[in-house]
Structure 1
Amino acid sequence: MNFSENISNKLTEIIANELDLNSDKKEIIAYAIENLFLFLLGFFSLVFLGILSNSLFSILVAAAFGGLLRRVSGGAHFDTPIKCLVFGSFIYTSIGIVAKKIGEYNLFSSEGAFYVILSICLGLVVLFAPVDSDSKPINSIQLKQTLKIISIAFIIMTLIVVYFTDNLLFSVSAVMGVFYQCITLLPLFNKGR
């Protein structure tokens, strides 16, 4: 049992005993508590690393765009949520720092590069999304189609947002966050799926 599961199980026991819940409802509450705990831990680690690296804005934008896409497209998974959280924090911090440097040195003077990258992302989503995992398989064909459509719509929405945004740092961070997430869809990182 991992750290986050341990905490969520203890909190669930307290809540379930207080409210006299059955085992199905206990399981739902444990899942919700663990997800909330991991989200908060991830968010605060990104805020801490963002303040430490003086790249808070770009880190949070990259993580928001990449994370939202991940919710519907899936992608490569680690065997524990904590490993995923640590790796994700490292990656999004790195993306944020690089995006800030790109913005500072105006290395993306052409918006065309954003559109090329997002077009590649669209292709990856069309080909591979959604990617499920052994622990969370997607068995419904209808759900798979819905997740693919939402993933495609998210890439198109990102393209529109970038088109209408004058903030270079925002655009670079958003595009890099989406691009990283799309890379996790590649079969190379999802062997056996």
Structure 2
Amino acid sequence: MFLIEKLSNALAENISSSLNLDDNNKQIIAYGAFSFFQTLWAILFIVILSFLFNVLLEALILSFTASFLRKYSGGAHATSPNRCALIGGIIFTLLGLFVDKFSLIINIKNTSFLILISFLFSYLIVYKLAPVDSTAKPIKKEKTRRRLKKKSILLISLLLVLSIILLSFYHKFQMSHLLIIVQCICLGLAWQSFTLTSVGHLLIRYIDLSIKNIFSRGE
């Protein structure tokens, strides 16, 4: 059992014992605690890796954008919480480095083009595939699937409005960091949408297996 699962179960056991709760409520607490600890663990990986490469702000914007959409759209999963956190740290740090590397040539024209491409891609993929569930957490009700799809599309629309507003502020005030924020939103959104596809699943599975093999050699 993973450390996060042990912590979550121990916390749920203590709370349910203190409040005299039944097993169903204990499982709900354990799941909530697991989600909380897993989120903190994933953020910690991103912060450490991106800080080492001096792209902390970019990586955080990328990851929060992707995680906001992932909440409703689902997506590819790693086979363990630790590898999931590590993969997120690696991916968002690499994307942050990509934005940082090309920051000197970022302008309103290529940022507008990126908005067009990334949001069009995200709308199409989410409309066609979302929500993408997993065997561990299948979505059985069609009503739930429709609700999650609508929320995914609504979130993309809100991010589009935000990106346009930031682009307008840049046009007026010429603050270059606004373009960087917009590009991070676009790439974070595009990456999360990509994880809904079969190719995205294959890539995550390959990275997951590669990391697993690397660590298993050291045992």
TM-score calculated relative to the size of structure 2: 0.81
Deviation of 1:188 after TM superposition, in Å, equals 3.3
Matches of 2:28 and 2:35 in 1, distance apart? 11
1:98-137 matched pairs, under 5 angstroms: 98-106=98-106, 109-110=109-110, 111-137=112-138
Shift of 1:122: 0.7
Structure 2 distance, partners of 1:108, 1:185, is 29
Query: Is the 2:114–2:186 contact (alpha carbons within 8 Å) kept by the matching residues of 1?
Result: no
1:40 matches 2:51? no
* Per-residue deviation, 1:190: 4.6
- Matched to 1:60, the amino acid is L
Aligned twin of 1:185: 196
Structure 1 length-normalised TM? 0.92
> What's the CA shift for 1:107?
6.8
* 1:131 partner letter: V
Cα distance, 1:147 vs. partner? 0.8
Name the structure 2 match of 1:69: 69
Matches within 5 A, 1:13-52: 13-52=13-52
- Whole-Å separation in 2 of the counterparts to 1:168 and 1:107: 7
Alpha-carbon offset, residue 5 of structure 1: 0.7
Q: Which letter maps to 2:146?
A: Q
| Greater alpha carbon shift after TM alignment, 117-126 vs 16-25 | 16-25
1:93 match: 93
Give unpaired runs (5+ residues) of structure 2: 171-177, 203-219
Task: Tell me which moved more, 77-86 or 29-38.
Answer: 77-86
Provide the rounded CA distance (Å) in 2 between the counterparts of 1:138 and 1:175.
Answer: 27
What does residue 175 of structure 1 align with?
A: 186
Tell whether the 8 Å contact from 1:129 to 1:147 is kept in structure 2 after alignment.
yes
Secondary structure of the corresponding residue to residue 125 of structure 2: helix
2:213: which partner in 1?
Answer: none
Shift of 1:189: 4.1
Query: Could you tell me how far apart the structure 1 residues matched to 2:196 and 2:26 are?
Result: 33
Distance in 1, Cα, partners of 2:144 & 2:201? 19
Aligned to 1:185, the other structure's residue is in SS state: coil
**Letter matched to residue 175 of structure 1:** C
Pair 1:109–1:101, CA change in 2 (3 A): farther
Say which SS state the counterpart of residue 54 (structure 1) adopts.
coil
Name structure 1 gaps, 5 residues minimum: none
Q: Is the 8 A contact 1:118 1:175 kept in 2?
A: yes
The residue identity in structure 2 corresponding to 1:169 is: I
Moved more, 58-67 or 94-103: 94-103
Give the count of matched residue pairs. Answer: 191
- Cα distance, 1:151 vs. partner? 1.0
The percent identity for this pair of structures is 29
